[in-house]
Structure 1
Amino acid sequence: MKPGTLLLSQPFLGDPNFERSVILLCRHSPAEGAFGLVLTQPTSLTLGDVIDLPLGTATPAAALPLYSGGPVQPDTLHYVHRQAGLPGATDLGQGVYWGGDFDILLAGLTNGDVAPDTARLFIGYSGWSAGQLEQEIERGSWIKQPASAGKVFTLESDAFWRTILREKGGRYRALSNYPLDPRLN
């Protein structure tokens, strides 16, 4: 499984950390495990709430929303973006990049050289030990889909999961309408 893959949770996954989640896989190694960021869980925090910005909170960067990337190390900051030339960034394919020199990205966001809608910031991440993600996929917990910048940076969090399943068609379209709690149906 290659980085840049989207992992969509099955509607019956049963883990509140990943209910109707779409995770962008950033790193995967059969020997070391996997690292991903949940794209569908906005928080009430902004970048200005968690770091001191050079020009204070009066910049577009200060208002950037933070997402919960997952339950692991919620005191860490991670980011994906569309800045192909950012030093140290990992190319996830389809115009999506992970990490890189945060000071340069922040400067671009602060001075307006980088549009705020071309970056997504996360606190925490989703992690799997060696072989764990493969087992979860075999059990049917996750549906794989290639990522694209158009989806990663433009789809609204509450519609992301459903939109991708509908686009896959077939049985996935039916899953997109699965109720949160089928007992209430």
Structure 2
Amino acid sequence: MRMNRSSHSNELAAHAGSLLLAHPSLLDPNFRRSVILLTAYGESEGSIGVVVNRPIGKTLGEYDPELSTSLLADVPLFIGGPVARDQLILVAWKLSAEAGVFKLYFGIDHLKAQQILQDDPEFQLRGYLGHAGWSEGQLDAEIEQKSWVVSGCLPVLDGKPEEIDWHELICHERPELRLLADAPDDPSLN
């Protein structure tokens, strides 16, 4: 797990394997209060990731009857982002905090996913419908505009999928944002 710091601030720099936390002021419904695992990052090629805190309450076995009797039947399914929501993306990862290593497989097929689980049951496997994507320089511009907070809190990915809590992460990473993070969705209800 790398903890890159950008050269002009004390904040982490984005890289594949980091988490993007939506800033509390980001109101786009596709990303409001989202936590994104950045799976590919490139200043000149663009970036891609999946929203890891939007479970849909289904498993792969419920989504695809062909997988209902496989090792993948109980793998949780998420809304991965606004792009290509009709596309299923399988993602596997394993964090070894002691060794400082984060292994990530993105966009694998169901046979490779089953093989990974057979070879090493310590891997976490998730299914995502869609993904989030940024064109060349777009993500860097959004980070510069404070739409995203970059986090290195990868250990949260090893817990239960429904326990990835945007509020807890944003307040841990940037305690000064707690007041904004605590604001109700509808200020008239305050």
Q: TM-score per shorter chain, which class?
A: 0.7 to 0.9
**Matching residue's letter, 2:129:** I
How many aligned positions are there?
Answer: 171
Shift of 1:159: 5.1
- For the structure 1 residues 83 and 7, does the alpha-carbon distance in structure 2 shift closer, same or farther, using more than 3 Å as the test? closer
1:120 is aligned, of 116, 126, 130, to 126
Partner SS state of residue 173, structure 1: helix
- Does residue 151 (structure 1) correspond to residue 156 (structure 2)? The answer is yes
Q: Which has the higher helix share?
A: 1
1:40 is aligned, of 25, 49, 53, to 53
Name the residue aligned to 2:112: 104
TM superposition score normalised by structure 2: 0.76
**Matching residue's letter, 1:145:** S
Mind listing any 5+ residue stretches in structure 1 that lack a counterpart?
A: 85-92
Partner SS state of residue 33, structure 2: coil
Partner SS state of residue 52, structure 1: helix
- Does residue 5 (structure 1) correspond to residue 18 (structure 2)? The answer is yes
Shift of 1:153: 3.0
Using the alignment, how far apart are the partners of 1:30 and 1:95 within structure 2? 21
- For the structure 1 residues 161 and 125, does the alpha-carbon distance in structure 2 shift closer, same or farther, using more than 3 Å as the test? same
Using the alignment, how far apart are the partners of 2:145 and 2:176 within structure 1? 17
| Identical positions, percent | 35
Partner SS state of residue 172, structure 1: helix
Using the alignment, how far apart are the partners of 2:64 and 2:79 within structure 1? 13
Name the residue aligned to 1:67: 78
Name the residue aligned to 1:90: none
Name the residue aligned to 2:186: 181
Indicate conservation of the 8 Å contact 1:165/1:175, yes or no: no
Shift of 1:40: 1.0
Using the alignment, how far apart are the partners of 2:28 and 2:163 within structure 1? 17
Mind listing any 5+ residue stretches in structure 2 that lack a counterpart?
A: 1-13
Using the alignment, how far apart are the partners of 1:134 and 1:108 within structure 2? 33
